[in-house]
Amino acid sequence: MQPHQQFSLRSTGSRLSSHLWLLVVLGILLTIGLGYLPLDAQIPSIPETVSRCIPQQTRQPIVRSELIGSSRLQGKDYYLLATYIENNQQPTNLIISVTNGCCEKLFFNPMGDRVPFSSVVPRSIAQQLTLAQYQREIQRIGKDRFQQQVSQGAAATRNPTWFTEEVWALRQLGITVPTNVQVQQ
C-alpha cells in the first residue's frame, strides 16, 4: 500500500510542478505580450488643465496629442506632448506649463526646427522632458535600435551639434554618445 501512496504523492507533486510551470510560462508570455500592445494603449491620459492649452487654431489641424512626460519645479508642472497634424506621421513637440490650474503654452514647434527645450524651460526640466522623450522611443523600438539610430545620426552629419539636455539624457540611459558630437551649451 505504501508504494501506491508514494506514487500518488509523486503524481500530485508532478502535477503541481507542471501547473506551476504553466503559470510561469503564461506569466512570461503575458509580460512579453504587453510590450507589443498598440502604443496608444500604453499612453497616459493628458490632464484636462493641459488639454485646454493644446492649440486649436493651427495652419494644419492637430488630429492627435500624446503625453510624453512631465516634470515639476517650484510649484510649476511642465508637460511634453507629441502632437500630430493631419497627413504627417512625425510628431511636433509641445511644452505646456501648469501653475495653480492655469496652463500656458511654452513651446510649439510645428516647423520641426532644432530648438533646445532649455531655451524655454529651466535646464533641469529640459533634461527631464528629453529623458522622457528618449525613454518612450526606447520603449517603442528597443535600446539597441535606439543606439544604432543615435550612432547613424551622428555619422550622417558633419560636425553634429547636439543640445546639452540631449547628451545628458542619452548618458542617463546608458546610450553611447558618438565622439564626433559637439555639445551646444
92-99 and 76-85 beta bridge pairing: antiparallel
CA angle 13, 14, 15 (to 5 degrees): 90
Instruction: Give the model's pLDDT for residue 79.
Output: 98
* Residues 152/154/155/157 CA torsion (nearest 10 deg): 120
> Residue 10 corresponds to which cell in the numbers above?
509523486
Which tens digit of pLDDT belongs to each residue from 141-161? Answer: 999 999 999 999 999 988 899
Does 90 or 72 have the greater pLDDT score? 72
- Tens-digit pLDDT profile for residues 106-154: 999 888 888 999 999 999 999 999 999 999 999 999 999 999 999 999 9
The model's pLDDT over 7-32, given as tens digits with 9 standing for 90+, comes to: 444 444 443 333 333 333 333 333 33
Please say whether the dihedral angle defined by the alpha carbons of residues 47, 94, 88 and 138, taken in this order, is positive or negative.
negative
Mean pLDDT of the chain: 80
Distance, CA of 156 to CA of 178 (rounded, Å):
12
Q: pTM to 2 decimals?
A: 0.74
pLDDT of amino acid 43: 55
Question: Residue 55, class by beta-carbon neighbours within 10 Å (0-12 exposed, 13-18 middle, 19+ buried)?
Answer: middle
Cell of residue 60, nine digits: 494644419
Q: From its phi and psi, is residue 49 left (phi > 0), alpha (psi between -120 and 50) or beta?
A: alpha
Tens of pLDDT, residues 30-80: 333 333 333 444 457 899 999 999 988 777 788 899 999 999 999 999 999
User: Domain coordinates of the chain in residue numbers?
Assistant: 1-36, 39-113, 114-185
**1's grid cell:** 500500500
Whether 79 contacts 65, CB under 8 Å: no
